Chains A and B, each alone.
Chain A
Amino acid sequence: MKAKTLFDKIWDGHIVNSIEDGPDVLYIDRHYIHEVTSPQAFNGLRERGISVFRPGKTIATADHNIPTKDQHLQIRDELSRNQVERLSENCRKYGIELFGLNHPKSGIVHVIGPELGYTLPGMTIVCGDSHTSTHGAFGTIAFGIGTSEVEMVLATQCILQPKPKKMRITVNGNLHKGVTSKDIIMYIISEISTGGATGYFVEYSGSAITSLSMEARMTICNMSIEMGARGGLIAPDETTFDYLRKLPSIPGINDLESSVNQWTKLKSDPDASFDRELEFDAGLIKPMITYGTNPGMGMAIDGSIPMADNKNNEASSSYLKSLDYMGFKPGIKLLGHPIDYVFIGSCTNGRIEDFRAFAQIIRGRKKAASVTALIVPGSKKVEEQMASEGLIEVFKNAGFEVRQPGCSSCLAMNEDKIPAGKYSVSTSNRNFEGRQGPGARTMLASPFTAAAAAITGKISDPREFITEEKNVKI
């Protein structure tokens, strides 16, 4: 039999039908929905006079536009309130389980899915959100889709999809202290650019990947889309199974160990071939920061902003336009540059480990007076854990405000906007123009780097705040 990649094994196992010269009809095991990209899909069903085909396979949450303060009160913004209410109505009408605002298990869709045991190895998972790639950390084919495709999945539990090409990214070696999974993925994106993996589905492998926790693996897979990849996955192993063993329950699974036995087969065959292979050395990675307006524009924290490439006019003018938006010039260093805001949260770095890492540097120190910081847990469960581990106390003592769970300032659909012209060090995933509010200037970084910036009020090297023996791995 022909050697197969992990991606092939899962994809091929989910083909309901193949169209000649066309896309495959792929069966979807898990469909996550949220308030922003689902209403038009439900409208579509109504216009066709059809219902949801398999409501038990769809899970809903309200996360994108909700406030992170006073969640028990009515949402003030009328359009946002309407969207959240529409989601509740649709879920009620079609019998879809909803972890809505104020539900004790609610949170960001890509945080609660794994937390509640809905994301399991070998699954196909889609959601009307590009960061669906997060779930690939469990050895799943998980990818973001548009609203027409949400409608398609609601109507038929299937999606028409052309099969992407396959790429393997291997990262071997040991990470230095203060370097995190966020830095690994930001490094890779800076090396291959924001469109470097477009058309591909990525498998991450190598010792620097397999030694990561599930939370850290989710951070890596989460940002696959930022290099254009359709998604990214990591073969499940004992780390994955232990994560699942510790969950209070897993819906639909009675005998976890017999499932684990099946899941151990989920790996690429040794002689399977990929359309493209890349290798990186973890020892070369430093804490990263972005300086421009796409996630490919990243560099080591102590580096200098590269000069424009003058070979191509369009590329060079786009590059300079981007630096101009940020208020930076080619050749300058960012260390010591004053900042105004710090955001820690999002589906990239809003899990318990991220807040532990943030706390490691914050503990016993004070927030710089010039900095406004937003600390936003990824879910209610993360919030509870933060409270029980005393982290909320640590943050409050240091002068930080801890908000309630949601996507918040990652995309600033709610009130958590960074004002025009202000610099924000953010643990989220996108530094696009206006992403955190019109005119906001975002610099992406790890929770360590965000913490160092929060206490100094400027871009600072987090390695100076971490001792070797206290190096938390995230």
Chain B
Amino acid sequence: MSKVKFDLLESTCVPLPFENVDTDQIIPARFLSATSREDFGDNLFRDWRYLKTGEKNSDFIMNNPKFSGKVLVAGKNFGSGSSREHAVWAIFDYGFRAVVSSFFADIFMNNSLNNGLLPVVISEELLIKLQDLIQKNPATKVKIDLEKQMFTIIPTGDSVRFGINPYKKECLLKGLDDIDFLLNMKSLITGYENNKNLVK
């Protein structure tokens, strides 16, 4: 669990215009044998970024030097499948601080929020428009204001409010962590156990 803060981000974007990108694509299982949280970024989208020979796959959109930035603009239903938090660690370690999509898988969403990676849900229509804009002009910048919960495509002025759980919003703005929050609740937890006559 990390205590990374997130408040305001203005950045160019990296497009990933595929639907149903599962966590096995984000970080393949054979890279999950580490016992620390570091360095997973090297293997982010490993089997799409690299050819079997180990060389970079120049056809893969993320390898196109035109695209860079701290915002990953993904397709619909991003992060489905395995619960591996390593997927979020890899995206964060690679340098992204926010992922934009029209739809995220539940576990991926929780994992992101627990690691300071902001998942931003926008409409499918706006997502497709944004993908097009970035493809046409890789210098397209977006602004993500967590405090105001506003997502803005700077050159077009498209600005929409995005949803986030108010508790998680506060955690991200202040760099707080769920575990500290729960540790402060120990007496309530013990009280629950006593009420239910649970074996401890």
Which residues of A are at the interface with B, using a C-beta cutoff of 8 A? 16-17, 19, 21-23, 25, 27, 36-37, 39-40, 43-44, 48, 50, 53-54, 56, 64-65, 77, 79-80, 82-83, 86, 128-130, 144-149, 151-152, 155-158, 160-162, 164, 194-195, 198-199, 225-226, 228, 230, 252, 294, 296, 313-315, 317-318, 321, 411-413, 420, 430, 432-435, 438-439
Interface size on B, residues (CB 8 A): 59
Q: Does A228 contact B36, Cβ atoms closer than 8 Å?
A: no
Set B81, B103, B110, B192: member contacting A27, Cβ < 8 A? B192
Q: Assuming the A-B contacts A145-B83, A146-B111, are A22 and B28 also in contact, with contact meaning beta carbons closer than 8 angstroms in the complex?
A: no
User: How far apart sit A198 and B105, CA to CA, in the bound complex (Å)?
Assistant: 6
Write the nearest CB–CB distance from B184 to chain A, whole angstroms.
10
- Would you mind naming 6 contact pairs between A and B with Cβ atoms under 8 Å apart? A64-B32, A145-B107, A152-B179, A158-B185, A198-B105, A318-B75
Write the nearest CB–CB distance from B62 to chain A, whole angstroms.
15
Q: Does B28 contact A152, Cβ atoms closer than 8 Å?
A: no
Q: Does B32 contact A158, Cβ atoms closer than 8 Å?
A: no
Set B17, B35, B166, B188: member contacting A16, Cβ < 8 A? B188
Set A86, A128, A314, A412: member contacting B18, Cβ < 8 A? A314
Q: Contact mask B29-53 → A, CB, 8 Å, 1/0?
A: 1101111110000000001000010
Verify if B22 is at the interface (C-beta below 8 Å from A).
Answer: yes
Q: Give the residues from 95 to 142 in chain B that come closer than 8 angstroms, CB to CB, to chain A.
A: 103-107, 110-111, 114-115, 128, 131
Q: Assuming the A-B contacts A36-B32, A48-B179, A148-B85, are A162 and B165 also in contact, with contact meaning beta carbons closer than 8 angstroms in the complex?
A: yes
Q: Assuming the A-B contacts A151-B1, A228-B80, are A198 and B103 also in contact, with contact meaning beta carbons closer than 8 angstroms in the complex?
A: yes
Write the nearest CB–CB distance from B108 to chain A, whole angstroms.
9
Q: Does B20 contact A194, Cβ atoms closer than 8 Å?
A: yes
Please name all residues of chain B whose beta carbon is closer than 8 Å to the beta carbon of A21 when the two chains form the complex: 165-167
Write the nearest CB–CB distance from B152 to chain A, whole angstroms.
22
Q: Does A37 contact B85, Cβ atoms closer than 8 Å?
A: yes
Write the nearest CB–CB distance from B6 to chain A, whole angstroms.
15
Verify if B178 is at the interface (C-beta below 8 Å from A).
Answer: yes
Q: Does B19 contact A315, Cβ atoms closer than 8 Å?
A: yes
User: How far apart sit A83 and B86, CA to CA, in the bound complex (Å)?
Assistant: 15
Write the nearest CB–CB distance from B52 to chain A, whole angstroms.
7
Q: Does A77 contact B20, Cβ atoms closer than 8 Å?
A: no
Q: Does B167 contact A432, Cβ atoms closer than 8 Å?
A: no
Most buried by B among A40, A164, A226: A40
